[in-house]
Amino acid sequence: MSDTMTQALPEGFVLTLTDKAADEVRKFLAAEDVPAETAGLRVAVLPGGCSGFKYTLNIEDKAVDDDMVATISGVPVFIDAFSAQYLNGVTIDYVSSMQGSGFTFANPNATGGCGCGSSFTA
């Protein structure tokens, strides 16, 4: 990963990965066939979902040009510029319940959402 290709998160930008979420991401990183020295978690926001935008999480081999890169809770995280505008202040957690388990997103900037917890309005 070249420093000329990637950039740090902007001053004041906050994205939180809880300890439980970070532990789960580390399990996924270990299970994937990706290079440990460059791989990380892509956190993105895409148009779609039932409320206008949806969150996506993917394990990727390396950051791409113009990604913002940070280590959050010990996990390398890759964020593109479009997604960054919607992710400031977001907390990503991992919850387990009788209904199932998965990642959740708490976004203080969302103006609306839906029951699935994976999409929002900004």
39 assigned to some structural domain:
yes
Total domain count, the chain: 1
**Which residue segment(s) compose the domain that 57 sits in?**
16-109
C-beta of residue 9 within 8 angstroms of C-beta of residue 84 = yes
pLDDT tens, 26-82? 999 999 989 989 999 999 998 876 667 888 999 999 999 889 999 999 999 999 999
49 assigned to some structural domain:
yes
Q: What is the CA radius of gyration of the chain?
A: 14
| Single pTM value for the model | 0.82
61 assigned to some structural domain:
yes
